[in-house]
Structure 1
Amino acid sequence: MSLAMKQQPNEEINVTPLPITKPEAKLYLSFMYVAFISLFIGGLMGLLQVLVRSGDFELPLGIGYYQILTLHGVILALVLTTFFIIGFQYSLLGKTVGMSDKQRKLGWLSFWTMTIGTALTGTAILLGEANVLYTFYAPLKAHPIFYIGLALVVVGSWISAFVNWHQVYVWKKAHPGQKTPLLAFMVTINMIMWVICSIGVAVAVLVQFIPWSLGYAETINVLLSRTLFWYFGHPLVYFWLLPAYMAWYAIIPKIIGGKIFSDSLARLSFVLFLFFSIPVGFHHQLTEPGIDPTWKFIQVVLTFMVIVPSLMTAFSMFAMFETTGRKQGATGLFDWFKKLPWKDVRFVAPFVGMLAFIPGGAGGIINASHQLNTLVHNTIWVTGHFHLTIATTVLLTFFGIAYWLIPHLTGRKLTPKIHKLGIYQTIIWAVGMLIMSGAMHIQGLLGGPRRSSFSEYGGTEQAAEWVGYQTAQAVGGTLLFIGIVLMVYIFVDLIAFAPKGEEEYPIAEEEEDAQPTPQWMENWKLWIGITIALILFAYTIPMIDIIQNAPPGSPPFDGIL
């Protein structure tokens, strides 16, 4: 029998979930504590930003605009997401393949390494010694503690990746010939992508930024540092997104009373994300000199390849929704839509996130298009895009996960009161984001800059044209902060005040008549080999050119790019 014809038994997707012990739950919850504390602090910084940009508010106590902008970006885009994702993924593997005492101890090592790194980075920002934004572009220069803290966060995440891989390895040894449970397969893919891409930012921080900030190097290769950052920065977006996809593919079906549409399709989409998420960083650098246009074009083509697994996911989700609805009696073309559980916040919050990804994905296509990118590059359009994709699609899905994950870990119940409050929170978030992100997109098309504070262009003719959109951003940002306060309240209630009980950890089974999963789907050497080959093809020659033909090194710069 040929390799392509070999199949793996479908019943392995339906492995009975394992119980989560109290020591395990304590570890997983620790990551959640940091994530939700970060949500509140980062959300407050975001509120202050939009108020300042409206032109009617000044920061007190000598706090700088770029200080809160940096804290907002770092703590939400890096800290909140990474801690939530790693805690969630630990729980997924604990539930599907198990966690040993040794693995749990290494899990704590990853937590404390990341937490110490976060504290160091946050301290540098709060002291005003790291007003370099979350992208920390050179020649902006921060205190060494900022970069050391970032390095520790990355190292801590690598520890968690190796723990995850070891969990799957142990399970595979105990279950020879059986396919890896779907969620464990997805976590493995996500952490392979994360480790490969974060090597870029680790090299930039350890080789360039730390020696430069300590005074051991007088200059820095700016183009090289930006290239290393965006080698990491674009797959970072998929590191945020793929855990949301895990919930969409394998958890939402259980919540709505359905089953996974296709195990093979889900796995293939994750493999394609691994291929096409990393070798595409140049599409963030389309306006930068020093990179051959041919290589920019190649990476733009590779960027558009990511559309394929995205469309596969959309097809799989809506096929599952329709199949489930028809099993529940739906007959018309769209009657299945009415059968979805619109009063279940565990479904509603992620579903609103899915809808937000439609315009968010369309905006991403614009950002990656060479000609259209020149219109929106470095405008607040890009900020609006990030808030649609990450702050809506990803965060609303994370909120939907929290509604069942937190009570499951704490041994409490998701009460009707919290259900209703969660629906209100989702509506407030959606309305607030529609107003704020919509105003950002429009102002961006009118040339409104991203990052800049009102004081830098207030009083100009353009500023008068933008004032209405900036007021709308302040209104939307205020609604979003109200949504954050509600979400933090819900989190605290589920941690400490909800009644004792048992809440389901929903993991769906696959459709009975789905095609068996081919064995070659778990050919890790092949997948990693193709990924590395694509990276080497896309980056080797341009990186050699950037290093060999670098302009004179750039000295420290005290302004804002």
Structure 2
Amino acid sequence: MMTVEMKLSRKEAKLSMAHMWVAFISLLIGGLMGLLQTLVRTGKVTLPFGIDYYQVLTVHGVILALVLTTFFIIGFQTTLMSKTVGMTDRQRKLGWLAFWVMTIGTIITAIMILLGEASVLYTFYAPLAAHPLFYIGLTLVIVGTWIVCFVNFHQLYKWKKQHPGEKSPLLAFMVVINMLIWFVATLGVAATVLLQFIPWSMGIVDDIDILLSRTLFWYFGHPLVYFWLLPAYMAWYAIIPKILGGKLFSDGLARLSFILFLLFSIPVGFHHQLLEPGIDPLWKYIQVVLTFAVVIPSLLTAFSMFAVFESTGRAKGFNSLFGWFKALPWKDVRFLAPMVGMIAFIPGGAGGLINASNQLNQVVHNTIWVTGHFHITVATTVMLTFFGISYWLIPVLTGRKLDAKTNRLGIIQTIVWTVGMIFMSGSMHIAGLLGAPRRSSFSEYGGTEQATEWIGYQFAQAIGGTILFIGILLMIYTFLYMTFFAPKGEEEFPIAEEEEEASPTPAIFENWKLWIGVMAVLILFAYTIPLIDIIENAPPGSSPFKWPIGRG
């Protein structure tokens, strides 16, 4: 049985709330940039004051995909760790240090983008070059997250020392898995930024090895998706059952699914590079196979969640085949928003399989289909779950109640967001199948004959973008209301207990040396020989960190 005895202190709540402020400010800025993009792509709107389309595109990607998600996740996970294993004064001070390092890095990066010195998109592919401060800012953000990683690791380590032989709290276990994935994955992007991009952008070296830089980025880039997704899984597994009035289906199954994500989320970056020369097809094939292995923990999660839904409904007396579906609390936004996110993950996951398939990827590669996929997974599944978390988490952090007004606003916001994303993501998928390119403004293809097939879908994206921005404004208003105006009181921190008759969790699931070792072996297997090949087969006369293409 899972019991939670820790009380979240006001000092810990203040730290988590600081992260939430950055996340929601990022939502507003990034959402505005997204709206401007969709309007520009209709060909009827031009950006004022000489603002470049790719400048707006970079702000949108960096602020939403990196800043918003990272700050929200760390803020959320900070509360989970404080609630389940506790936080010392020293750990909290390190948490504040990490917050300010990340925030300073974010500000530096944002300034460079807004000054037009870093219109390189959030993937910052070479040979696109940004001001050195852009890369330095990104490095500070990563360093700040590393501090958080080691705080979380130490929190669980200290708890285990104080509770020898006991099973660690499930949510703390999940947080440590997610931060392990993040730490190991960011080693790749840190290496390419520190050893390639910063020396290159400062003129210390003249050239950059483009294939190596892209490979190191995607070593990080795909695990980033699971860093976004796993906090949503935490809520699905361990919080939603409590909101339903039920219990966790299986502690062991939940831990197994997270272990599988740890093993298979990192050695799969080549499936983003299927059309790039210089990587042996055999290694692309191996990493595609490993990519498809990640389907297993997702299916385990789907099974677990619907088992919770059905068992909870039947316990409430709904015993017909699908009668339990009626027992779900559809009028509770804490459930509704994440549930819509779960449903969206069905087509989102199917799209992910298409992207990861060598043959099917040929059809959609570098089209706006890929952008639509990100919007249905990250911007729908993940964000709606994050919104659902916010409706109870913000009141917990601010000492207020989730009242009827907050719940009503949340339901409206969820519906608005869902409708907007149907227009946005749906039209992106269709336009992508027709060949519409991603990352491109209307001015680059508006005069082509093929563009006439896409223009209707571009307007649909603009409609979706407008609706989504209304949803963002609703969310910002609700956030401010929950923070300052909702009735004062004590809101429940919903953490589910395990079913009494559940099978015991195997002790091997907490053998950290084993699972980290297996992860390291898989990464070395998937990347060692390909990286050696990339370095050895670089153009004559170039170093491992140079490729004579220049900085154009």
TM-score range relative to shorter protein: over 0.9
Aligned counterparts of 2:417 and 2:551: Cα–Cα separation in 1: 38
Say yes or no: does 1:310 pair with 2:289: no
2:244 is aligned with 1:256: yes
Q: Give the corresponding residue for 2:471.
A: 483
Aligned to 2:266: 278
Partner amino acid, structure 2, of 1:241? L
Match of 1:174 in 2: 162
1:149 — aligned with what?
137
Residues 17 and 401 of structure 1: CA distance in aligned 2, closer, same or farther (over 3 Å): farther
Q: 1:45–1:68: 8 Å Cα contact kept in structure 2?
A: yes
**Partner residue, 2:126:** 138
- Residue 60 of structure 2 corresponds to 72
Partner of 1:436: 424
After superposition, residues 232-243 of structure 1 pair within 5 angstroms as 232-243=220-231
Which of 5, 9, 21 is the aligned partner of 1:21? Answer: 9
Checking the alignment, whether the CA contact within 8 Å between 1:139 and 1:554 is kept in structure 2 is: no
Shift, 1:17, TM fit: 3.4
- SS state of the match for residue 461, structure 1? coil
- Is contact 1:38–1:80 with CA below 8 Å preserved after alignment? yes
Deviation at 1:256, TM superposition (A): 0.7
Q: Residue 40 of structure 1 contacts residue 488 of structure 1 at CA under 8 Å; is this kept in 2?
A: yes
> What does residue 308 of structure 2 align with?
320
Q: Report how far residue 554 of structure 1 moved.
A: 3.7
- 1:288 pairs, out of 276, 280, 283, with 276
2:146 counterpart (149, 154, 158):
158
Q: Measure the CA separation in 2 of the matches of 1:115 and 1:134.
A: 17
| Aligned partner of 2:413 among 409, 415, 425 | 425
Letter in 2 for 1:436: M
The residue number in structure 2 matching 1:8 is none
Give the deviation of 1:550 after TM superposition: 1.1
Match of 1:230 in 2: 218
Aligned to 2:512: 524
Please say if 1:413 is aligned against 2:401.
yes
- How many residue pairs get matched? 546
Alignment of 1:399-548 (within 5 A): 399-548=387-536
What amino acid is aligned across from residue 292 of structure 1 in structure 2? D
Q: Does residue 81 in structure 1 map to residue 65 in structure 2?
A: no
Q: How does 1:174-213 map to 2 (within 5 A)?
A: 174-213=162-201
Question: Is there any run of 5+ residues in structure 2 with no aligned partner, and where?
Answer: none
Counterpart residue identity of residue 307, structure 1: V
Q: CA deviation at 1:421?
A: 1.0
User: Which whole-Å deviations, capped at 9, do the CAs of 1:338-385 have from their partners, x for residues lacking one?
Assistant: 000011000000000000000000000000000100100000000000
Q: Cα deviations across residues 195-226 of structure 1 (Å, max 9, x unaligned)? A: 00000000000000000000001000000000
RMSD: 0.7
CA distance in 2: counterparts of 1:200 and 1:15, whole angstroms: 38
1:557, CA displacement in angstroms?
4.4
- 1:212 aligned partner, one-letter code: W
4+ long deviations beyond 6 Å: none
Tell me, in whole angstroms, the C-alpha distance in 1 between the residues paired with 2:340 and 2:317: 24
- Asked whether the 8 Å contact 1:140–1:556 carries over to 2, the reply is no
* Structure 2 residue identity aligned to 1:240: W
Aligned counterparts of 1:324 and 1:452: Cα–Cα separation in 2 = 48
1:484 & 1:546 partners in 2: Cα distance? Answer: 43
- Partner SS, residue 51 of structure 2: coil
The corresponding residue for 1:385 is 373
What letter is aligned with 2:428? M
Please report how far the alpha carbon of residue 15 of structure 1 lies from its aligned counterpart in structure 2 after TM superposition: 2.4
**1: CA distance between counterparts of 2:312 and 2:550?**
59
User: Does the aligned pair in 1 maintain the 2:37–2:53 contact within 8 Å?
Assistant: yes
1:48 has 2:36 as partner: yes
- SS at 2:154's partner residue? helix
Q: CA deviation at 1:53?
A: 0.4
> 1:344 aligned to 2:320?
no
Cα distance in 2 for residues equivalent to 1:386 and 1:96:
32
Match of residue 367, structure 1, among 349, 355, 368: 355
Alpha-carbon separation, structure 2, partners of 1:471 and 1:164: 45
Q: Is the 8 A contact 1:141 1:556 kept in 2?
A: no
Matches of 1:291 and 1:342, distance apart in 2: 49
- CA offset at residue 518 of structure 1? 1.1
Alpha-carbon distance in 2 for matches of 1:158, 1:180: 22
Q: Provide the C-alpha distance between the structure 2 equivalents of 1:437 and 1:306, rounded to a whole number of angstroms.
A: 23
**Displacement of 1:16 after TM fit?**
2.5
Name the SS for the 2:432 alignment partner. helix
Whether the 8 Å CA contact 2:207–2:551 is kept in 1: the answer is no
Identity %: 73
Q: Distance in 2 between matches of 1:18 and 1:181?
A: 11
Q: For residue 309 of structure 1, what is the amino acid of its counterpart?
A: P
- Residue 431 of structure 2 aligns to a residue whose secondary structure is helix
SS in 2 for 1:517: coil
**Does 2:94 match 1:106?**
yes
Distance change in 2, residues 1:557/1:50 (3 Å)? farther
Partner of 1:96: 84
CA distance in 2, matches of 1:192, 1:149: 22
8 Å contact from structure 1 (residues 222, 554) kept in 2: no
Letter in 1 for 2:46: E
